[in-house]
Amino acid sequence: MQFTNLGRSGLSVSRLCLGTMNFGPLTSEADSHAIMDSAHEHGINFFDTANVYGLRSAGVSGLGEGRGYTEAIIGRWFAKGGGRRERTVLATKVYGAMVDWPNEGKLSALNIRRALDASLTRLQTDYIDLYQFHHIDRDTPWDEIWQALEVAITAGKILYVGSSNFAGWHIAQAQAAAGQRNLTGLVSEQSLYNLYTRDIELEVIPAAQHYGVGIIPWSPLEGGLLGGVLRKQRDGKRRLEGRAAEALEAKRSQIEAYEDFAAELGHEPGDVALAWLLHQPAVTAPIIGPRNQQQLDDAVRALDVHLDDSALARLDEIFPGYKTAPEHYAW
């Protein structure tokens, strides 16, 4: 396994981050525990979850038990001992409401305190390595947010703070407010980023690089579109519906060119997609969200894929990216 620092921090994390959103809704607790054990065997020490994970999505059959269930699965895994907690850099998130009642969501000082304590209880731990804002809260001032985090950091409940789904100017705003309190501020930003969806190259990545914030891409395979979807359809192993099917039809020629190029390189399409992210200088660790052991083993292969300059240029031709703003659209 390869390791790197999380943003400008001294925290060492694996170049792949184990996403746990499927644990509970689609993957049983026993299988989830086995996947986490295997992740440690592969050298993956960076696990990501959220307080709201565990609720089965509408229209999707599965095992869902409700919000918070995924954290509880992880907590029972930690409780098995054997150094599981000590070997894990644990990231969770706050923002989403757990129940339908005032002050049960977003980033008020009250919700941060309650949500953090509830996550600690479910996770059966006394601290969170990386506590992430799941979304920007436009209703709560940064002074209040950072004061609440400062209390939690002083109490030893939180070590590092990250964001998710922030715009570039949100990162700048957060860092300015943290600096006024002599706090470290954000060390990571979790964003939608992959070969297919590259919008954050305009402003989020430049802001992250300026402030020393590591990018943690979610949905690195764009919901499966970059994972060999056309071949899987031909083999009868994958059937897309709704928005995913519409997206495939809109970009079918690009997906075809991409899968053909991956075959030329001698790699699986999903491995190339993950490897491309690992070649981006702003990226700390893409989040992989395996539903089973095989998907975890497949994802680890990407660490051995090297893309030279010509391969990276060809991928840019297939899926054009963005220059840094404002040069992308102005001078």
Instruction: For the beta carbon of residue 97, count every other beta carbon within 10 angstroms.
Output: 16
Closest CA to 127 of 98, 160, 96: 160
Provide the 8-state DSSP code for 55.
Answer: P
Between CA 148 and CA 142 the distance in angstroms is 10
Who contacts 173 (Cβ-Cβ below 8 Å, separation ≥6)? 142
Where helices occur in 223-251 by DSSP H, the ranges are 229-234, 242-250
From the list 53, 95, 196, 211, the catalytic residue is: 53
Instruction: For the beta carbon of residue 100, count every other beta carbon within 10 angstroms.
Output: 7
**Cis peptide bond N-terminal to 25, omega within 30:** no
Closest CA to 52 of 67, 70, 72, 74: 67
Provide the 8-state DSSP code for 27.
Answer: B
Could you confirm whether 53 is annotated as catalytic? yes
Who contacts 9 (Cβ-Cβ below 8 Å, separation ≥6)? 160, 184, 187, 214
Question: What would the two tokens of residue 28 be?
Answer: 């049983």
What size, in residues, is the chain? Answer: 331
**Interstrand relation of 128-133 and 89-94 (parallel, antiparallel or unpaired):** parallel
Buried b or exposed e, range 285-298, using 16+ CB within 10 angstroms: bbbbbbbeeebbeb
- Report, as residue numbers or ranges, the catalytic residues: 53
